[in-house]
Amino acid sequence: MIKKFNIPVKEKVQVFQVWLGSINWTLGVNQLTDSELEIFSYLLYYNDKYKSITEHEVRMDLLFSTTIKNKIKQEFNIVTHKLETYLNKLRNKGFIVGNSVPERFLVYPESSIEVTFTCFMEVQTPKVEVKVEELEIPTEQIPVEIQVNAAVDIQLDEYDDLDEVPNEPLDFRDSFDKYFNEGDNPTETWM
């Protein structure tokens, strides 16, 4: 479905205000306030006015020059620090990067501008719940034959020294104890 709305304007700067106003709602948390929108629309207006300067960097240098800033200050009757505050807010929201306006915001209308929005509706399939009690599951006894064929080959060594008891008497002393205990019975020497 296509709906058209014609918005009449008297001055070219208003085309940029309408452009920004029409996309502002799509910007989420970075939406422009009315003052930010107006100041940014003037930057876009002067960018369009000097579009004959084809080199982007040179045009941006002119756009952020003292001359253009003075024109914007006179238009809004604001002082320098107030304009710089608005420009910094626009920088924080990503409308100005350094001293440049990103290409996605730049438009060059001749006599009008047309904005098209395409909205996609996310279609959700309804969830169907099925209760297990309502399902009839046939229960037939099916004979199952299982054959197990397994062979295990275990070979034991004839000599296994793990179970042998040594012939020597067991000495409970640690190898370190020999330096401190001189007697044969270790419990007698330290008591």
Cβ-based neighbours of 173, under 8 Å, separated by 6 or more: 181, 186
Integer-rounded Cα Rg, in Å, for the chain is: 44
Question: What digits encode the pLDDT tens for the residues 116-155?
Answer: 767 677 777 777 776 656 656 666 666 666 555 544 444 5
Q: Tens digits of per-residue pLDDT, 147-183?
A: 555 444 445 455 555 555 556 665 555 555 555 555 5
Alpha helices (H) in 25-65, listed in sequence order? 34-49, 56-63
pTM over 0.95: no
The answer to whether 128 and 120 are in contact (CB under 8 A) is no
Instruction: Answer yes or no: is pLDDT of 189 > 60.
Output: no
* Tens digit of each residue's pLDDT (9 = 90 or more) over 54-77: 898 999 999 999 999 999 999 888
- Cα–Cα nearest to 47, from 89, 104, 116: 104
Other C-beta atoms lying within 10 Å of the C-beta of residue 88: 11
Facing residues of 87 across strands? none
